[in-house]
Every structure is written in C-alpha cells, then in structure tokens.
C-alpha cells in the first residue's frame, strides 16, 4: 500500500495515499482496534449537515469567504449522498466526546475540498471546524441524526402499521370471541376491539416519540468547548441552527443553556424512553398474535397468520410464527439499549458527557431495528392475519366466564356456583344453572346472549 505523510499537532503520520482522511483519523484508527461497530452512517451524514451549516453561518457573519463556504458545501453534499462512504472508518469505541470522528469529518472535507479546488484552501481545524469544538458538534450531530432517523424511518413505519391495523380492525367488525385475562378465560370481546387496542398502542407511542423530538431539536452548536461559546462569533449559534433547519427541513433551534447542552444527554434518554415504550407494546402485540395463532391443533388457534418458512429441520410440515419472534427479539434489544443509554447519560462529569458515541450508537440502532421490524412484521404477518371464526365461536360458547352475564339475575355467588358445577361435571352453563334451580330453561335463553356482551 502506498502512503503519504500527514501531520497534526503531535507530529507526522503515514496515511494511505488513496484516502482523504488525515493524521488524527489515522491515529484513532490505529489506537482503537476495538470491536466491529463503526460510527453510524447517520452520524456522519449529520456531521456533514452541521459542517455545511456552520460554514453558512460563518460566511453570513463575515468569518468565512464564499468560495471556501461553497467548497465545504460541495464536499458535505458528497458525504450526504454516500459518495465518500469509505472515508469514515473509526470505531464507536473511541474517545467519549467523539472528537476523533469530528476530526475525521473535518479532515475528509478539507482534503477532498482541496483536491477539488486544486489548491490548499481548507484546513481541518481553522476552516472546517471554525467556531466549533468537538464538544458541541458531536451532541449536535447526535440530535440531527436522531430527528432525521425518527422522521425518515420510524414515523413512516409506524404510520404504515397503524393504517394496516385500521384495515384489520374494520375487516373484523362483528366477530365476537372470548376475552382473556391472567391467561385465563374472561368475558367476551369483539375481535375488532382487541385489534383496536393494538392500534391505539401504536398511536400513543407515535405521540410520545413526536413529543420527545422537542428536546432533540435543541442544538448544542455554539457552545464550543465548555459551553461559554469561546472563539465563536456573536450570533453564530442562532445562525447555525437556522442553517441546519434550512438544510434538513426540520425546525431546529439553538439550546438556550449550552452548559446543559454539553453535559446532559437527557433529551436522548427521554426520546429513547419513548422507543422503549414502543418496544414494550410491540412485544405485547407480537406475543398476542403468536398466542392467538398457536396450534394448529393443540393451541388457541383463533387466528391464521401467513406461513412463510418451514419451521423445523426434523418435524415435517411444522410452521412457526417467525415474524413475531423477530419482533420480540428486537424489543429485547431495544430494552437493553435503553439501559445502556440511561447509564451512559448519567456519567456526565463537570462540563461534558464523555459517553456520547455509545449513546447515539444504541439510540440509532433502536430506531433502525424498530423501523425495519415494523415494516417486516406488517408486510409478512399482520397483513395476512385472518380470523378463525369457527374456533372463536367454539371457544366463546365454551367459556365458563359467560356466566358473568347472569350476575344481574341470580347474583355473583350463585353465578360462581353455576360456573363451578359446570366445570366440575363438564356440562353447559345452562344445564348447571337449571340443575341448581337458579333459572328456568326458558328464562336462561331469554337473558343469555354472549354476542351482546361486548
């Protein structure tokens, strides 16, 4: 491999000749050979947005000339479009401030820009990082990446699933089945009512996720090293936030208190809490679906779900609820990520939190997994759910908890006696009620209508 010599404040470094990154990126690449997890591409794109926005702000404030601003913008566009994807090799497990990834982006923009210009117009620190510090750029990139991922990935996936649930709900109106509480038979419920519970969970989670974006749309940019804004011109923070909004289409603002913005990650914790709520609800929905589809002969078997793959290497003809299992595994991962995010966010010391790469890595993984699994579950399972009306009707009329309908006529204690006798002697509720002398056969038929109990 051919190398070129780059230098930074610590001296010279050999860098692959075909790469745009510089000495600081190379040092990090060599010093942190930890794991396989790389800085998420969403963060790199967010950095490109904020670097362009910072250049725009510096230009508007008279700190940067238009030629250099345009050059930075050109390279940032290439990064966002994925044209320089191989230039960002750094591990998540690096400095906790993300300094090396900030410098990775700075070096690539500077060297690529200079190559385009055919002249050394850009310097990683003096030009690309002008009015900035890693301490305010990395948390800014975190917020930009988080909002973008929510709006472009998760919210659309949620919306599509909500639409599918509404269709399923309408399609199953009028079907009455046995309810279940404590994994035991309960009073009847409409199948559409059960589905409406699933739909409402998704709608509530969507609201919570959207509410959490408020904190994520406040940016640290302009706080520089410790929150004082040292070396940033007056008005930079507001101009930079306005430029980020202009470039993304989302309403970002500058955080009023930069000391909070640099040292606290509470907005990400709060938002990930909403992701955990969605994970919890998705776990519940997937479990309901696989329980209701269990069987085909020895389970509940009240619904049919698509048969997508053979389920066993030894049992011929076996088919499993694989999409449900994928949902539940994603839910577990997101719940684990929430613990990591919360603990990492609690570790801010003095003016800076130095767990930022692991926080945003887990956050973005949660968004990505939830988005993908919502789409997979919808297209490969939920869209094909159909009611087993015969089994639902059988279970409904075989349920002892239908005795609840008799409470107003024979009282709670007599209804309990009726249910217990029916269970003990394996007879119908009607037979038990008449045998005990609580109602006549005619009166029982007059008051007992399971389909009307919903």
Which residues are the active-site residues?
Answer: 182, 312
Give dist(CA 85, CA 90) in Å, integer.
Answer: 12
Please work out, in degrees rounded to the nearest 5, the angle formed at the alpha carbon of residue 190 by the alpha carbons of 188 and 191: 115
Distances (CA, A) of 357 to 38, 80, 265, 398, 437: 10, 20, 12, 56, 72
Cβ atoms < 10 Å from Cβ of 401:
20
Give dist(CA 201, CA 318) in Å, integer.
Answer: 31
Q: Answer yes or no: are the C-beta atoms of 7 and 13 closer than 8 Å.
A: yes
SS (H, E, C) the chain: CCEEEEEECCEEEEEECCCCCCHHHHHHHHHCCCCCCECCHHHHHHHHHHHHHHHHHHHHCCCCCHHHHHHHHHHHHHHHCCCCHHHCCCECCCCCCCHHHHHHHHHHHHHHHHHHHCCCCCCHHHHHCCCCCHHHHHHHHHHHHHHHHHHHHHHHHHHHHHHHHHHHHHHCCCCEEEEEECCEEEEEEEHHHHHHHHHHHHHHHHHHHHHHHHHHCEECCCCCCCCCCCCCCCCHHHHHHHHHHHHHCCCCEECCCHHHHHHCCHHHHHHHHHHHHHHHHHHHHHHHHHHHCCCCCCCCCCEECCCCCCCCCCCCCCCCCHHHHHHHHHHHHHHHHHHHHHHHHCCCECCECCCHHHHHHHHHHHHHHHHHHHHHHHHHCHHHCEECHHHHHHHHHHCHHHHHHHHHHHCHHHHHHHHHHHHHHCCCHHHHHHHCCCCCHHHHHHHCCHHHCC
């Amino acid at each position: 491999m051919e190398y070129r010599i780059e230098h930074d404040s610590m001296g010279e470094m050999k860098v692959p000749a075909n790469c745009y990154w510089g000495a600081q990126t190379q040092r990090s690449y060599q010093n942190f050979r930890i794991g396989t997890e790389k800085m998420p591409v969403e963060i790199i794109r967010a950095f490109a947005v904020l670097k362009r926005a910072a250049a725009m702000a510096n230009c508007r404030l008279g700190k940067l000339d238009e030629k250099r601003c345009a050059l930075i913008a050109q390279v940032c566009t290439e990064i966002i479009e994925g044209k320089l994807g191989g230039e960002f090799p750094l591990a998540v497990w690096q400095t906790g401030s993300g300094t090396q990834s900030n410098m990775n982006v700075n070096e690539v923009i500077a060297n690529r820009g200079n190559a385009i210009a055919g002249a050394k117009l850009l310097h990683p620190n003096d030009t690309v990082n002008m009015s900035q510090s890693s301490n305010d750029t990395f948390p800014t990139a975190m917020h930009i990446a988080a909002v973008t991922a929510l709006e472009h990935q998760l919210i659309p996936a949620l919306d599509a699933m909500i639409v599918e649930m509404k269709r399923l709900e309408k399609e199953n109106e009028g079907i009455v089945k046995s309810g279940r509480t404590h994994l035991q038979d309960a009073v009847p419920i409409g199948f559409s009512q059960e589905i409406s519970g699933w739909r409402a969970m998704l709608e509530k989670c969507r609201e919570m996720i959207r509410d959490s974006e408020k904190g994520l749309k406040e940016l640290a940019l302009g706080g520089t090293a410790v929150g004082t804004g040292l070396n940033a011109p007056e008005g930079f923070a507001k101009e930079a936030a306005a430029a980020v909004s202009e470039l993304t289409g989302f309403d970002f603002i500058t955080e009023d208190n930069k000391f909070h913005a640099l040292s606290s990650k509470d907005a990400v914790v709060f938002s990930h809490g909403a992701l955990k709520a969605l994970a919890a609800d998705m776990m519940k929905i997937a479990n309901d679906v696989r329980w209701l589809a269990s069987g085909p002969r020895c389970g509940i078997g009240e619904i049919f779900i698509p048969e997508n793959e053979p389920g066993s290497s030894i049992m011929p003809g076996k088919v499993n609820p694989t999409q449900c299992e994928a949902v539940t595994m994603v839910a577990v991962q997101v719940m684990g990520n929430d613990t990591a995010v919360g603990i990492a966010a609690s570790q801010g010391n003095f003016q800076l939190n130095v767990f930022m790469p692991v926080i945003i890595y887990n956050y973005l993984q949660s968004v990505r997994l939830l988005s993908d699994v919502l789409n997979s579950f919808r297209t490969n399972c939920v869209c094909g759910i159909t009611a087993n009306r015969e089994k639902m009707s059988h279970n409904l009329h075989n349920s002892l908890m239908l005795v609840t309908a008799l409470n107003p006529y024979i009282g709670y204690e007599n209804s309990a006696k009726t249910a217990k006798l029916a269970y003990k002697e394996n007879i119908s509720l009607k037979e038990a009620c008449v045998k005990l002398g609580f109602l006549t056969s005619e009166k029982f038929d007059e008051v007992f209508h399971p389909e009307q109990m919903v």
